[in-house]
């Protein structure tokens, strides 16, 4: 049996948050009015046809912990940067504002995953840990499809030389050079290469750069600012 996979990424429009979080901020840790964030999250759930407790959120910490969830939740999963489920109708949410949202799915096995892959987590292996958790839940790696959502692009992610070298050593393919000739990081390129090495070839990369696109939140461009949400679920 094959399930239908749904993936969604929000923009910054369509919510109720005030400046500098205007208006569809989904992050509850950035200084926005908690009532506004709750209203935005409820609005998102309604728009994708799910009840609020069927969208599973994380309190992300730039780590590598993966949590398997199998039921609706009224509170976020603490200290977690990736989620896996085999439960249809349960949406897994990642919040970002430059980091890479990674949405994974094996439609044949009925297993999905979502990972928050910033520089630290991506280099630490959070994406491969998510794949491993999916395989443990019944997925087959070659059957997994992946969407790498909007994130800061290599030309706009300038970093010190030592940081670029360190990330490249742990996430080969991520190092790049900015238009100014300085060291940079393209995390999505590194993650895609890592996934191919794990036997996954169905990889789509959203071309949007959060720094360049004013319709998206970007911490590097606008801090303080809000957060986007990227979700995956099965129908």
DSSP for 103-168 reads: EEEETTTTEEEEEEE-HHHHHHTHHHHHHHHHHHTT--GGG-EEEE-SB--GGG-B--HHHHHHHH
> CATH class for domain 5-234?
alpha beta
Which residues, in sequence order, are bridge partners of residue 103?
114, 147
CB distance 106 to 139 below 8 Å: yes
* CB of 107 closer than 8 Å to CB of 143: yes
**What does the pLDDT read at residue 1?**
72
> So where are the chain's domains?
5-234
User: What's residue 63's pLDDT?
Assistant: 97
Question: Are 170 and 123 contacting, i.e. CB atoms less than 8 angstroms apart?
Answer: yes
Average pLDDT along the chain, 235 residues, taken 10 residues at a time: 94 98 97 98 98 98 98 96 98 98 98 98 98 98 98 98 98 98 98 98 98 98 97 97
Burial class, 152, CB count within 10 angstroms (exposed 0-12 / middle 13-18 / buried 19+): buried
Burial environment of residue 178 by CB neighbours within 10 A (0 to 12, 13 to 18, 19 or more): middle
Please give, one letter per residue, the 3-state secondary structure of 107-120.
CCCCEEEEEEECHH
Instruction: Provide the sign of the torsion angle of the four alpha carbons 136, 141, 147, 151, taken in this order.
Output: positive
- Write the DSSP symbol of residue 180: T
Strand pairing class (91-96; 55-56):
parallel
Opening angle at CA 38, ends 34 and 40, nearest 5: 115
Sign of the C-alpha dihedral, residues 138, 101, 196, 172? negative
């Amino acid at each position: 049996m094959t399930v239908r996979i749904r993936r969604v990424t929000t923009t910054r429009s369509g919510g109720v948050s005030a400046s500098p979080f205007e208006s569809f901020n989904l992050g509850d840790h950035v200084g926005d009015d908690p009532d506004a964030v709750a209203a935005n999250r409820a609005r998102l759930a309604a728009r994708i046809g799910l009840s609020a407790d069927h969208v599973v959120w994380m309190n992300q910490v730039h780590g590598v912990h993966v949590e398997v969830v199998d039921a609706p939740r009224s509170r976020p999963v603490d200290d977690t940067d990736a989620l896996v489920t085999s439960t249809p109708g349960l949406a897994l949410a990642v919040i970002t504002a430059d980091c890479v949202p990674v949405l994974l799915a094996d439609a044949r096995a009925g297993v999905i995953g979502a990972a928050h892959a910033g520089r630290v987590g991506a280099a630490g292996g959070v994406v491969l840990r998510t794949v491993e958790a999916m395989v443990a839940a019944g997925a087959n790696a070659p059957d997994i499809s992946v969407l790498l959502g909007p994130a800061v692009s290599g030309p706009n992610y300038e970093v010190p030389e030592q940081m670029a070298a360190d990330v490249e050593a742990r996430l080969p393919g991520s190092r790049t050079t900015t238009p100014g000739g300085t060291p940079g990081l393209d995390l999505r390129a590194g993650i895609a290469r890592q996934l191919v090495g794990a036997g996954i070839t169905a990889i789509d990369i959203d071309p949007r750069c959060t720094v360049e696109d004013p319709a998206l939140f970007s911490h590097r461009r606008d801090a303080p600012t809000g957060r986007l949400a990227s979700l995956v679920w099965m129908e």
